[in-house]
Structure 1
């Protein structure tokens, strides 16, 4: 294993841990769950299935959407499913729930920024995105739309659908839907690790291996 591969593996693992931890930060802020969790809770309400089960079903449906986008799963896709949940549990175990509104806002804002950084880290390692982030990169590659526009469009669509199904929506939910796209768009080029077979290109989300 080359030094590059060691670095990529470390970046992948750190990114996935921070991804789950950032979700815990936003949950502890109690200002609203992410659009995908709104959809999960709304679907659980309508079907009577547990939230965890609905989350897995939604993830499977999202993976099926990869097929027409010609998106292929990678090691990072599998590890995303395995590691993000436990790292979120670690975050929930060590983080308290602030009482002051200003502290909750700061915790949520920090979690949102960390979520974008974590996304850039683990996708930039180029071992494959998670189901939901893979939908974003797949649409970006397939149609050539900017990452920020694709991510914002997906989050907004998921938010509206979850709200129509009865999922809870807060100010934090709207903030995630509107801001996560531009933040991820900024983070991806920073943490991208070019692979040896890639031709030198100006840094940007479109240089992601397999998504060009």
Structure 2
């Protein structure tokens, strides 16, 4: 695959991944059986402020990026795109999908949203344009503190979950399901959807003329 073709694939994969991520979040929100910890925080802030879910998602992303400064984490194009695009994509999903009240439809909506988020994670991380704001916060704190990655991630998510719950966010079985399943679901997709580095042709020296002196 040529460098130009690889770049086109990376850009498309990033854009599609971020859009699907927002739609997946919306599906889980509309399932109304609990959402991911960061979305619990978003719901809680939305309930207290009256602001839209998508707007708070964007604002929260940029607040997290400010925390990157003291831990010296460097954002990529994908990091900024994530901060800007996931919130509007979630708003589109919330406009298209009504709140589910039947238990079967709730489970189906949540499962579909979880699957989309797993696929989207593989797509946008596999595009190699940089981690999302929340992922970068996790890896940055891991690098600065030296704590195991699982300790850092658990600490962050328990903190935002607790704040979101106190503010009125929706904590439920879906929250537990997300915590247990998103890692195992996303891991193989990360390997499958990783865009390989373009293969560079080796420079082959030109053969010496037949009449050249030894």
Please give the TM-score of this superposition, normalised by the length of structure 2. 0.74
Q: Are 2:77 and 2:130, in contact at CA under 8 Å, matched by a contact in 1?
A: yes
Deviations 1:120-168 (A, max 9, x none): 110110112221132234356664845x775455333321232244533
Q: CA–CA distance in 2 between the matches of 1:58 and 1:23?
A: 15
Q: 2:39 aligns with which of 17, 31, 37?
A: 37
**Where does structure 2 lack aligned partners over 5 or more consecutive residues?**
200-214
Q: CA deviation at 1:75?
A: 1.4
Instruction: Decide which structure has the larger Cα Rg and report it.
Output: 2
Tell me if 1:176 matches 2:178. yes
Q: Tell me, in whole angstroms, the C-alpha distance in 2 between the residues paired with 1:179 and 1:122.
A: 19
CA contact (8 A) 2:122 2:193 kept: yes
Q: What is the TM-score when the length of structure 1 is the normalising length? A: 0.74
Partners of 1:164 and 1:93 lie apart in 2 by 26
Aligned to 1:79: 81
Distance 1:104 1:45 in 2: 21
Contact 1:151/1:181 (CA < 8 Å) preserved in 2?
A: no
Look up the match of 2:114.
112
Structure 1: runs of 5 or more not aligned: 198-212
Q: What is the CA RMSD across the aligned residues, in angstroms? A: 3.0
Change (3 A) 1:150 1:72: same
Conservation of the 8 A alpha-carbon contact between 2:78 and 2:131: yes
Aligned length: 195
